[in-house]
């Protein structure tokens, strides 16, 4: 029986420091019928030299450069890679993230045996060499209901990293390409459209991926521009969901709004710049100032009453008897 081809699509930009480790996990896959398309977004470091080395080492790795007539950005590179891909299944992968050796083999086995189109896996975060795995998340199971899956996802870090999924090329074609105008949460918007096309979400517990969090990253979420793109992504997510699932869409996006507000509430000017998105949430959630004020009051009350108790104990107004 002919084994299906899996296309691994990696956008990259000045990731020479990490992409070698990423490609090593690709080459070490126990499933061998894959192609890897690395799409360079115009790197100015040694990415091209490193990719030439890897493509010579393994001819399944193809080094592509984003054509100049296409917009810059990772989403544009992903779309270009998808257009060039030949596989029946798609493995999205960022140029600093890692796959377990059995990742593609184990997921593909379950997908094909059940004739489904998408599957997720366990995952963890990699930061400065330290690995934090997420265990026993509510999202770590199979789902036949989109509502149940999104509710579980909401309680489980809020997402799976994009490379934890393996999906069919057909489901991507139906859902549509990556949105090339978004700069933040583009994977969240893309995956909602994928979810709306799926029959079931499968899960495999016997493999994993690692999502790198680079502490030296210059990317800052707390900026007006990034908040603007983040809000734009969630407005699109809401429009996608509400069309078919109005109650689910409102509940899912409202929960996201609260998470975003908590992250940004130290910057009230940014919150006010997107007041139409947040609605009444700023009035319902306590501000950082109020939270700090409450903490001061509680600490003051505790310290004063402890001192009063100790003084009374010293003056003999309170006796502490030993209980036999």
Break the chain into its structural domains and give their ranges.
Answer: 6-212, 224-284, 289-324
Q: Give 2's pLDDT tier (boundaries 50, 70, 90).
A: confident
Q: How many CA atoms lie within 13 A of 49 on its CB side?
A: 5
How far, rounded to the nearest angstrom, does the alpha carbon of residue 292 sit from its chain's CA centroid? 30
Percent of the chain with pLDDT over 70: 86
Q: Are 260 and 234 in contact (CB under 8 A)?
A: yes
Residue-wise pLDDT tens digits, 54-82: 999 999 999 999 999 999 999 999 999 99
pLDDT value for 56: 96
Quick one: tokens of 211? Answer: 């999502």
Residue-wise pLDDT tens digits, 239-296: 999 988 999 999 999 999 999 998 888 888 888 888 889 887 766 655 554 555 555 6
**Helix H or strand E segment including 310:** helix 288-314
Question: What's the rounded mean pLDDT across residues 120-141?
Answer: 94
Strand partners, 91: 8
pLDDT value for 314: 67
How far, rounded to the nearest angstrom, does the alpha carbon of residue 177 sit from its chain's CA centroid? 18
Q: Which of 168, 24, 187, 18 is nearest to 91 (CA)?
A: 168
Question: How far is 260 from 280, CA to CA, in rounded Å?
Answer: 14
CB atoms within 10 A of CB 126: 18
Strand partners, 28: none
**Helix H or strand E segment including 120:** strand 118-127
Quick one: tokens of 268? Answer: 């009230």
Q: For residue 105, count CB atoms less than 10 angstroms from its CB and return exposed for 0-12, middle for 13-18, buried for 19 or more.
A: middle
CATH dotted code for 6-212: 3.90.550.10
Residue-wise pLDDT tens digits, 161-193: 999 999 999 999 999 999 999 999 999 999 999
Question: How far is 260 from 158, CA to CA, in rounded Å?
Answer: 12
Q: Which of 207, 210, 125, 199 is nearest to 163 (CA)?
A: 210
Q: Are 37 and 10 in contact (CB under 8 A)?
A: yes
């Amino acid at each position: 029986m002919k084994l299906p081809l899996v296309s691994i699509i990696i956008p990259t930009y000045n990731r020479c420091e990490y992409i070698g480790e990423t490609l090593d996990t690709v080459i070490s896959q126990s499933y061998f019928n894959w192609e890897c398309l690395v799409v360079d977004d115009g790197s100015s470091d040694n990415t091209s030299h490193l990719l030439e080395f890897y493509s010579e080492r393994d001819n399944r790795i193809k080094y592509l450069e984003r054509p100049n007539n296409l917009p810059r950005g990772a989403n544009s590179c992903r779309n270009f890679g998808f257009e060039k891909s030949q596989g029946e299944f798609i493995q999205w992968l960022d140029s600093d993230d890692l796959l377990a050796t059995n990742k593609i083999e184990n997921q593909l086995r379950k997908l094909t045996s059940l004739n489904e189109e998408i599957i997720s896996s366990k995952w963890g975060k990699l930061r400065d060499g330290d690995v934090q795995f997420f265990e026993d998340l509510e999202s770590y199971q199979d789902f036949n209901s989109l509502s149940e899956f999104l509710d579980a996802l909401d309680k489980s870090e809020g997402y799976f990293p994009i490379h934890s999924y393996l999906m069919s090329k057909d489901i991507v074609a139906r859902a549509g390409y990556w949105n090339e105008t978004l700069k933040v949460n583009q994977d969240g918007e893309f995956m909602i459209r994928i979810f709306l096309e799926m029959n079931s979400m499968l899960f495999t517990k016997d493999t994993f991926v690692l999502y790198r969090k680079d502490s030296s990253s210059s990317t800052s979420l707390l900026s007006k521009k990034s908040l603007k793109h983040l809000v734009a992504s969630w407005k699109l997510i809401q429009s996608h969901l509400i069309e078919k699932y109005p109650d689910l869409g409102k509940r899912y996006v409202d929960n996201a709004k609260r998470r975003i507000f908590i992250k940004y509430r130290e910057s009230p000017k940014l919150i006010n710049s997107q007041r139409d998105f947040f609605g009444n949430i700023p009035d319902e959630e306590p501000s950082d100032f109020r939270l700090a004020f409450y903490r001061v009051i509680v600490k003051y009350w505790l310290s004063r009453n402890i001192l009063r108790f100790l003084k009374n104990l010293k003056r003999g107004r309170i006796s502490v008897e030993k209980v036999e």
